[in-house]
Amino acid sequence: PWTRVPTGANGVVALQHGLGANLFSGWAIGDLAVRGDGSAVCVSLTLAGAVKEAMVGGRVLPVGWPFQLQLSPGTHPLYVRVEAQGAAQFQVQVSSCKRLAKVQLLDMAFDDWNKGHELPDLLGGRLLGDRIFLRVANGRRGWLHDVRLEVEGGPLVAPHRPEGGLSLAQGQMVALSALLRLMPGTESVPRSACPLRVVLRVTAHDLEPLTKTV
C-alpha cells in the first residue's frame, strides 16, 4: 500500500519500512512544482542518499550531482526508487539554474559513486567498461544545438565521434557520453602508460571545439 510521507528539512525524505536491518526496496512518488509565466524554466535537481534511480519529465536523473533540465510551469511527477538496508532516506534539492557566462566543461568526479563515476575502471591493463562521460553546461543565451562528445585517437585509444548530437537549452547541464575503446590489436594498457590519458572534445553548432584531457 502507498503511504504519504512528509518532506523534512532540506528536502530529506525518511521512509519507515519496518524491515529493520533487512534490505528494503521501493518507489517514492512526489510532485515537483515549477513556477513560471508560461515559458519553460531551467531547474537544477540534486538527489542524494539511498537512491537507485530517479526520473522526472521523462528524463533519468543522476545521483549525487546537480542535473539541469527545462520544465514547463506546473506539476511534474518525480519518481525515486529507493534501496537500503536499515534507514531508508534520500534528499531532493531543487534550485534555479546557475547563470553561466559561457559553455563550460565541468570537473570530472574520480572514484566517488555518490558524485558520478565518469571514468571506466582499468584493471590489469583492461578497461572494465566502454563508456566515458563528461558534464557540459550551456551558459550562453539561447539553445546550443548538435552537442557531441568525441574521443580523440591516440597510440592506445581509438577515436570516436557519435552520429547524432543533443540540444541544450540556456542554463541546462547534461552528462554526455562516448565510446571508449582501445585501438584494434591493442589488448591491454601497459603499466608504463598508466594512468591512461584520454583527450575528450565537445563540439556543437556555432561553437569552437572544447577539449579536456582526463
Q: And the C-alpha cell for 32?
A: 515537483
| CATH code, domain with 189 | 2.60.40.10
Digit-coded pLDDT (tens) for 28-46: 999 999 988 878 888 888 8
pLDDT tens string for the chain (214 positions)? 678 888 887 888 888 777 777 888 889 999 999 988 878 888 888 888 899 999 998 888 888 777 878 888 999 999 999 998 877 889 998 888 766 568 888 776 555 544 545 677 778 888 888 888 888 888 877 788 899 999 998 889 999 998 888 888 877 888 888 999 999 888 889 888 888 888 999 999 888 889 988 8
Q: What angle do CA 189, 119, 123 make, to 5 degrees?
A: 40
Digit-coded pLDDT (tens) for 85-123: 877 889 998 888 766 568 888 776 555 544 545 677 778
Rg (CA), the chain: 20
Q: And the C-alpha cell for 206?
A: 556555432
State which of 74, 96, 118 marks the end of a domain. Answer: 96
State which of 96, 124, 139 marks the end of a domain. Answer: 96
Rounded Cα–Cα distance for residues 49 and 20 (Å): 18
The structure's pTM equals: 0.55
Q: What angle do CA 66, 68, 74 make, to 5 degrees?
A: 120
Residues 17 and 115 in one domain: no
Determine, yes or no, domain membership for 31: yes
Residues 108 and 206 in one domain: yes
